[in-house]
Amino acid sequence: MGYAYHWITPPQIMYSGIFNNVDGIGYQFNFETGALEQSVNVVVGRYQSNSIERTNEFDLRNFITLNWTATMGDHEFNAVYAQADVYFESPGITPAIAGAGAAGIPAADVIVSGDLGQFVGFGYKGTFGDIAILTEYKIVTVQDSIIADEESGGYVGATYNMGDYTYHLTYEFGTTKAQTYSQAGGAFQPTADSVGGEGDAFAIIVGARRDIGISSALKVELTSQTNDQATLTSGGAQIEETALILKVALETMF
């Protein structure tokens, strides 16, 4: 996959996630409708982390995803919907939340038990001679959960091919809306008091790729990124973090 990308690293706002595999079964159906070549892929299964992988215990049960792709000449379209029951426990963040007095939420409520998580995404790629335009967008929600109420984001990019060289430019963006709670009559209800972090993130990626032979590629990439987020540990204050990252990679396909 890394060799196929023009990027060294795909846009992290779009592709960031805490898992990249599911244990289960899948089925793919390919068919044609006129000039439109289509495929539908369905996967049903479960993802479960363990203490060896990470401190946080994360479990996605009753996981199902439906992915549709279509190609018509130089145009490609895709859409995906996924949902699962989310189970999550993070002992590492329990002291921070309890210590900060976040609306009096006890440690037990840091556990997420069976909240419905949903993912919706879509994308497009069009090729116009030596120029290609590509874009993707996603929305992730976990209902009634102490973790982020909604995350959304995506990117818009373009590539230009010149012989063995590919030049690319990408702008990516994202927004996180935090879940909020207060204690009222023994129950926790949403209020304006943020429990998690929320804010915006942006990045610009500029890079070049040179194909070497038929199975290797040399890539150079410069990323300028900004995170502007209010967090619990900062007392709800808005903190802006910026970074400028230079990457160089030689990728080979065997």
> What's the CATH number where 33 sits?
2.40.160
Instruction: Give per-residue pLDDT as tens, 208-236.
Output: 999 998 889 999 999 999 988 665 544 55
For residue 212, tell me if it sits in a domain. yes
Residue 94 has pLDDT above 90, yes or no: no
Q: Is residue 3 part of a domain?
A: no
Asked if residue 6 belongs to a domain, the reply is no
* 4 lies in some domain: no
Distance CA 71, CA 80 (A): 15
Task: Judge whether 5 lies within some domain.
Answer: no
Residue 99 sits in which domain range?
12-252
- % helix, strand, coil for the chain, step of 5: 5, 65, 30
Give the total number of structural domains in the chain.
1
Residue 83 located in a structural domain: yes
Which of 65, 70, 78 is closest to 25 using CA atoms?
65
Phi/psi for 239 (5° steps) reads -120, 130
Q: Environment class of residue 176 by beta-carbon count within 10 Å: exposed (0-12), middle (13-18) or buried (19+)?
A: buried
Give the whole-number percent of the chain exceeding pLDDT 70: 72
User: Is residue 44 a part of any domain in this protein?
Assistant: yes
Specify if 2 maps to a domain. no
Question: Which pLDDT does position 131 carry in this prediction?
Answer: 98
